[in-house]
Amino acid sequence: MMGQRLEDLCPFITNMVPRRHANRRTVSNAIANMSWIRDIHGTTTLDVIIEFLKLCSLIEKVALQPAVQDTHTWRLSASGNYTTKSAYDAIFMGSIQFEPWERIWQTWAPVNAISSCGWL
């Protein structure tokens, strides 16, 4: 919904649904007759009520199309397809490049200088 995971939109409610229920239920099954409501267990707080109302209004707008095949889109590549390279690049997304890395990983010290210091 809205390009986000349900856990991100409604964390209080998703924490109140036992995993055994969440792992068994399909979206179609949950939306039918609003049966997802029966999966919520625990203490009702103001945050839960607010998320519940928000979720109800979002689900109300969902129209499933059983004849249309589901598609999976990998947002971290331009093609929308998963690649190992795109996943690897995502790990370092936002990190700072250190250009003189070669100076750190390639030593210029001669072997004789290191052994004369008593390190070897």
DSSP string, 69-111: PP----TTSTTS---HHHHHHHHTTTPPP-TTHHHHHS--S-H
Task: Return d(Cα 87, Cα 75) in angstroms, integer.
Answer: 10
Q: What is the pLDDT of residue 101?
A: 67
Given this model, what pLDDT does residue 92 score?
86
Rounded distance between C-alpha atoms, residue 51 and residue 54, angstroms: 5
CB-CB contact of 52 with 94 (8 Å): no
Confidence (pLDDT) at 87: 92
Q: Which residue has the higher pLDDT, 102 or 67?
A: 67
Domain ranges of the chain: 6-60, 72-120
**How far apart, in whole angstroms, are the C-alpha atoms of residue 85 and residue 80?**
13
User: Is pLDDT above 90 for 22?
Assistant: no
Percent of the chain with pLDDT over 90: 15
pLDDT in tens, 78-88: 898 999 999 99
